[in-house]
Amino acid sequence: MKSLPKGFRGAAIAAGLKSTGALDLTLIENTGPLFDAAAVYTSNKVVAAPVIWSREVTKGKLVRAAVLNSGGANACTGPQGFADTHHTAEKVGELLGISSGEVVVCSTGLIGELLPMPKIFAGLETISAAMKTDSLDDVSRAIMTTDSVPKVATANIKGTEFAAIAKGAGMLAPALATMLSVVMTDAVLPKNAQEIFTRVTDRTYNRIDSDGCTSTNDTVLLMGSGASGVALSESELEAALMDVCGSLAAQLIADAEGSTKTVAITVTGAASESDAVEVARACARNNLLKCAIFGADPNWGRVLAAVGTADAQMDPLNIDVILNGVHVAKESAPFEDKNLVSFAERLVSLEVNLNVGSAIATVMTNDLSHDYVEENSAYST
Amino acid sequence: MKSLPKGFRGAAIAAGLKSTGALDLTLIENTGPLFDAAAVYTSNKVVAAPVIWSREVTKGKLVRAAVLNSGGANACTGPQGFADTHHTAEKVGELLGISSGEVVVCSTGLIGELLPMPKIFAGLETISAAMKTDSLDDVSRAIMTTDSVPKVATANIKGTEFAAIAKGAGMLAPALATMLSVVMTDAVLPKNAQEIFTRVTDRTYNRIDSDGCTSTNDTVLLMGSGASGVALSESELEAALMDVCGSLAAQLIADAEGSTKTVAITVTGAASESDAVEVARACARNNLLKCAIFGADPNWGRVLAAVGTADAQMDPLNIDVILNGVHVAKESAPFEDKNLVSFAERLVSLEVNLNVGSAIATVMTNDLSHDYVEENSAYST
């Protein structure tokens, strides 16, 4: 029952959205004195009603509350779905005495079904009467879908506190791959917090890639209460955010129930960081390569075949591959004996050196396993 | 033992490249009087030695022979691999009394290993002494890797003959997804045969997409002997090529051993044909959607989530989804009961109407199954 940062209250209940009776609805309130906010949303063109709503809310960079539910994504639900999101924000506004336009709404679960609104309204009545400061654990549990454990990260810097929660990601949320995260802090944020938060998101959450599928609901929200009275510099904020978001990203990839391996793909010698990310992502999304890793098969030819599909500067005849420390390919040809590669550990380290520059990036992914197919083949029925 | 078109001879043997003792080396000779050729290669930046060689050969649009082997891709094999390809072409030139610069070389199999050249040289000696016209069946079998059946298509138009062979494609060639195809005809080809062949390839082979992985060795070759003396018009050639290449593409997707469903994804109402292809391909490559189809789960939300990732003109709130004839989503929201969708047949028809234009395209793919993971997790070891 860890505490939220100063200036935050929250609570969660089982509103009956999940058939299991687990926590499925939570409310987080920023009681100020500041109500700074920044947010990053899914890049998918098809977005859920809560994303359409929340994108408008966070344009003003002022957020007083966030309401999040699991047990239903409220995506592809038409005008009624949007009205439901709107009414949820209005209900929260009414209960907390704030404007609905200051309320972010997040949903996660199955696409294409309307939420049971009476249960949400009743749940919010109960929650709003039970708001407390030591609710970090409850809040983190209420957004879980197929996650096996709740994800929480905290940090302290210069007397300020950060507490962050997250759920989902690809293989561990085989349903919809929805990623939700809320970062709370009592620090006074610098003016360009949005810019910093976008950059941190890009280097943490956007560098875990379980299956290349982006969701209709992905939302990452930063809320600052300023209650510590301590103003952080840009670099201090960035360091604290890298800490909590980096930790959560690692927790997400580690909780990939359908996987047997975590693969850290590091591309070195790239002409630019974006080239390095592009090449790493091409590997992370290559099914043949991911199956080979599941099978503990040091088939580095699939690495080069994947690298060659990336839109990045390279010399196809001068690429090196180092797999779990074994330099299996040099100048795009066999080098050390691939049978020396051990797959005994869960973590697999794959390094690709493009030998054309000095930029580096790492993307984390998982293998493609029988359990991935199993979990994702029988979700909605 | 079907015959090759007039002006062609061929033969195949088991040269010992495959441990099974199956046919693995074949030679096709165009004896003229014309030696017209066109070719399309993999878009992968990392290409095998035979592709580097053959791209140069076909620039001249004159090809007298093609030598193809299974049992080894000769990809990522460095300068020695390229020398081996060069020597193979020289050997064929010597045996047939033609220039090595008129010999296309194709290889398929595992990446990163050198070919056993003495076996190839010995095999070519034997083959070149056994060239015959009724070798279509042998020639088609010699390029098989994990294909369960050889793929052959023939066509006749205005007294000309077309005979075409193919191997591979994604799930049915779990190794490397290499696609090789040779189309032989005794027609006199129009001047812009390359342009027509590229367009046909784009609308046939490039619209089957088992797993989105492109290979280092993909080669599609057209050879025209002109031996019929009949000149085809552009539209006649295009019709005949669409016939044989379309048939082979369908055979490739039907032979997907690791799959349980063939999925025809048709995008209608697109602003352009390229938009339609882009959206269909986004669906064909979405693991979550492909797992749902394996599980006979009418989870159309995954269709919209996949569509939304495509770089194409769309109105996210006005997309229709018709799954096996059931109009499951209209205006991006639930419409007919998804439980009416039957998955009894192998063929699954998925239609996505973008409602923004009148362009249409179909891409064929497969589901993502346990057998896909199994076949691809234990290939090289």
- To the nearest whole Å, the CA of B32 is away from the closest chain A CA by 36
**How close does chain B come to A280, measured CA to CA in Å?**
15
Per DSSP, what are the bridge partners of residue A29?
A: A9, A65
In chain B, what are the domains? Answer: 8-254 (3.60.70.12), 262-377 (3.10.20.340)
- CA distance linking residue B21 with residue B35, whole number of Å: 33
In degrees and rounded to multiples of 5, residue B229 shows phi and psi of 75, 5
3-state helix, strand, coil in chain B (%, to 5): 35, 25, 40
Among residues B248, B256, B147, B155, the alpha carbon closest in space to that of B207 is found at B248
Of B77, B216, B373, the CB nearest to A368: B373
Q: Which residues of A touch B292 (CB under 8 A)?
A: 376-377, 379-380
Q: What is the mean pLDDT of residues A192-198?
A: 97
pLDDT of residue A253: 85
Q: Say yes or no to pLDDT of A175 above 50.
A: no
pLDDT at A131 over 70: yes
Cβ contacts of A43 on chain B, cutoff 8 Å: 309
Residue scoring higher pLDDT (B161 or A206)? B161
> Which of A9-13, A86-90, B69-73, B92-96 has the weakest average pLDDT?
B69-73
The answer to whether A257 is annotated as binding is yes
User: Cα A118 to chain center, whole Å?
Assistant: 29
How large a percentage of chain A has pLDDT more than 70?
96
The predicted structure's pLDDT at residue A25: 98
**DSSP H helical ranges for chain B:** 49-59, 78-96, 117-128, 136-141, 193-203, 234-254, 273-284, 287-294, 301-307, 370-377
Neighboring chain A residues of B111 at a CB cutoff of 8 Å: 299-302, 304-305
Token pair for residue A14? 């089982």
Among A291, A300, A339, most B C-beta atoms within 10 A, so best to mutate, is: A291
Highest averaged pLDDT of the listed ranges A176-185, B19-28, B214-223, B295-304: B19-28
The CA–CA distances, whole Å, from B213 to A150, A286, B150, B204, B299 equal: 35, 7, 22, 17, 25
CA closest to A371 among chain B residues: B370
Testing the interface with B: which of A43, A80, A111 to mutate, by most B Cβ within 10 A? A111
CA distances A139 to A64, A151, A163, Å, are 16, 10, 11
Give the chain B residue whose CA is nearest to the CA of A170: B288
Query: Are A9 and A31 in contact, with CB atoms under 8 Å apart?
Result: yes
- CB contacts, 8 Å: A80 with chain B: 333
Q: Which residues of A touch B46 (CB under 8 A)?
A: 304-305, 307-308, 316, 319, 332
pLDDT at A174: 35
CA distance B307 to B302: 8
From CA B287, how far away is CA A213, in angstroms rounded? Answer: 7
| pLDDT tens-digit series, residues A71-118 | 999 999 999 999 999 999 999 999 999 999 999 999 998 889 999 999
CB contact under 8 A, A301 and B112: yes
Beta carbons of A216 and B308 less than 8 Å apart = yes
User: How many Å apart are CA A166 and CA A87, to the nearest integer?
Assistant: 25
Among chain B residues, CA nearest to A294 = B377
The alpha-carbon gap from B33 to the nearest alpha carbon of chain A, in Å, equals 38
Q: What residues 79-108 of chain B have any CB closer than 8 A to a CB of chain A?
A: 79-81
B238 CA: distance to closest CA in chain A (Å): 29
Question: Which residue out of A176, A279, A302, A336 would a mutagenesis test of the B interface target, given it has the greatest number of B Cβ atoms within 10 Å?
Answer: A302
Question: Could you please report the per-residue DSSP string of A205-241?
Answer: GGGB-SSSPPPS--EEEEEE--TT-PBPPHHHHHHHH
- pLDDT score, position B183: 98
Q: Which of residues 207-226 of B touch A (CB under 8 A)?
A: 211-216
Residues B123-150 have pLDDT tens digits of 999 999 999 999 999 999 999 988 889 9
Contact B379 A297 (CB under 8 A): yes
**Chain A: residue nearest B178 by CA?**
A305
A191 at interface of B, judged by CB pairs closer than 8 A: no
Q: d(Cα A267, Cα B68) in Å, to the nearest integer?
A: 34
Residue type (1 letter), A241: L
pLDDT tens-digit profile of B217-244?
999 999 999 999 999 999 999 999 999 9
Q: Which DSSP letter does residue A247 get?
A: H
pLDDT at A257: 63
At A167, give phi and psi (nearest 5°): -145, 155
Is B250's Cβ below 8 Å from some Cβ in A? no
Both tokens of residue A239?
């360091």
What integer pLDDT is reported at residue B171 of this predicted model? 40
Instruction: Say if CB B172 and CB B257 are below 8 A apart.
Output: yes
Asked if pLDDT for residue A1 goes beyond 90, the answer is no
What contacts B70, CB < 8 A, 6 or more positions away?
A: B17, B18, B24, B25, B107, B108, B109, B142, B143, B144, B145, B167
**DSSP reduced 3-state for B284:** helix
Give me the percent of chain A exceeding a pLDDT of 90.
Answer: 77
Whether A177 contacts chain B with CB within 8 A: yes
Angle between helices B193-203 and B234-254 (to 10 degrees): 30
pLDDT tens-digit map of B324-359: 999 999 999 999 999 999 999 999 999 999 999 999
Residue B162 contacts A, CB cutoff 8 Å: no
Give the position of tokens 């590229």.
Answer: B198
For A133-149, what is each residue's pLDDT tens digit? 999 999 999 999 888 89
In the structure encoding, which two tokens stand for residue A181, read together?
């995260």
Nearest to B160 by CA among B236, B234, B235, B222: B236
Q: Which residue of A has its CA nearest to B215?
A: A305
Q: Do the chains contact at A377 and B292, CB–CB below 8 Å?
A: yes
Residue of B71, B129, B60, B139 whose CA lies nearest to B100: B60
pLDDT at A8: 98
Query: What's the CA gap between B28 and B11, in Å, rounded?
Result: 7
User: H helices of B167-286, where?
Assistant: 193-203, 234-254, 273-284
Give chain B positions within 8 Å (CB) of A332: 46, 76, 78
Residue B178 confidence (pLDDT) above 80: no
Task: Identify which of A254, A282, A251 has the alpha carbon closest to the alpha carbon of residue A267.
Answer: A282
Report the side by side order of strands in the sheet with A65-69: A8-13, A25-30, A65-69, A103-107
Tokens of A331: 């100048």
User: Which residue among B88, B108, B178, B216 is the active-site one?
Assistant: B178
Cα–Cα nearest to A17, from A114, A119, A148: A119
pLDDT single digits (tens) B5-25: 999 999 999 999 999 999 999
Those of residues 255-314 in A touching chain B at CB distance below 8 A are 285-288, 291-292, 294-302, 304-310, 314
Please give the angle made by the CA atoms of B253, A210 and A270, to the nearest 5 degrees.
95
- Chain B: nearest CA to A249, how far in angstroms? 21
Nearest CA in chain A to B177: A288
The beta strand positions in chain A, using DSSP E, are 8-13, 25-30, 36-41, 65-69, 103-107, 151-157, 160-168, 179-185, 219-224, 262-270, 320-323, 326-330, 333-334, 347-353, 359-366
Band of the pLDDT at B170, cuts 50, 70, 90? low
- Cβ distance B260 to B368 under 8 Å? no
- Residue-wise burial string across A312-322, b where 16 or more C-beta atoms lie within 10 A, e elsewhere: bebebeebbbb
Q: State how far residue B261 is from chain A, nearest Cα, in angstroms.
A: 13
Q: Which residues are B157's β-sheet partners?
A: B160
Asked if the peptide bond before residue B150 counts as cis, ω within 30 degrees of 0, the response is: no
Q: Is A44 an 8 Å CB contact of chain B?
A: yes
Amino acid A377: pLDDT: 74
What residues of A are annotated to the active site?
178
Mean pLDDT throughout B274-285?
Answer: 93
How confident is the model at residue B376, as a pLDDT?
74
d(CA A49, CA A107) in angstroms, rounded, equals: 9
Q: What is the pLDDT of residue B169?
A: 59
pLDDT higher than threshold 60 for residue A329? yes
Identify which of A147, A155, A162 has the alpha carbon closest to the alpha carbon of residue A254: A147
Please give, rounded to a whole number of angstroms, the shortest distance from the CA of B209 to a CA of chain A: 12
3-class secondary structure, B261: coil
Q: What pLDDT sits at residue B287?
A: 85
Rounded Cα–Cα distance for residues B378 and B381 (Å): 6
* pLDDT of A308: 92
pLDDT tens sequence across A334-349: 999 999 999 999 999 9
List pLDDT tens digits, range A233-255: 999 999 999 999 999 998 988 88
pLDDT of B304 above 60: yes
pLDDT classification of B172: cutoffs 50, 70, 90: very low
Q: Which of A179, A210, A213 to mutate to test the interface with B (most CBs of B within 10 A)?
A: A213
Q: Are B138 and B12 in contact (CB under 8 A)?
A: yes
* B145 has binding-site annotation: yes
Alpha carbon distance B180, B166 (integer Å): 5
CA distance B345 to B347: 5
Structure tokens at A160: 């300020």
Which element (helix H / strand E) includes B105?
strand B103-107
**Does B376 count as an annotated binding residue?**
yes
pLDDT of residue A146: 81
What is the average pLDDT score of chain A? Answer: 92
- Which chain A residues touch B374 with a CB distance below 8 Å? 370
* Residue A66 to residue A64: CA distance in whole angstroms: 7
Question: End-to-end CA distance of chain A, in Å?
Answer: 35
CB B128 within 8 A of CB B28: no
* pLDDT confidence of residue A178: 66
Distance of alpha carbon B239 from alpha carbon B244, whole angstroms: 9
Chain A CB contacts of B270 under 8 Å are none
Contacts of A17 (CB under 8 A, 6+ apart): A24, A25, A69, A70, A71, A72, A109, A115, A116, A119, A120
Tell me, what DSSP letter sits at residue B24?
-
Q: Is the pLDDT of residue B118 over 90?
A: yes
Other CB atoms within a 10 A radius of the CB of residue A156 amount to 11
For residue B131, which of B11, B237, B36 has the smallest C-alpha distance?
B11
List of chain A residues whose C-beta atoms are within 8 Å of the C-beta of residue B215: 305
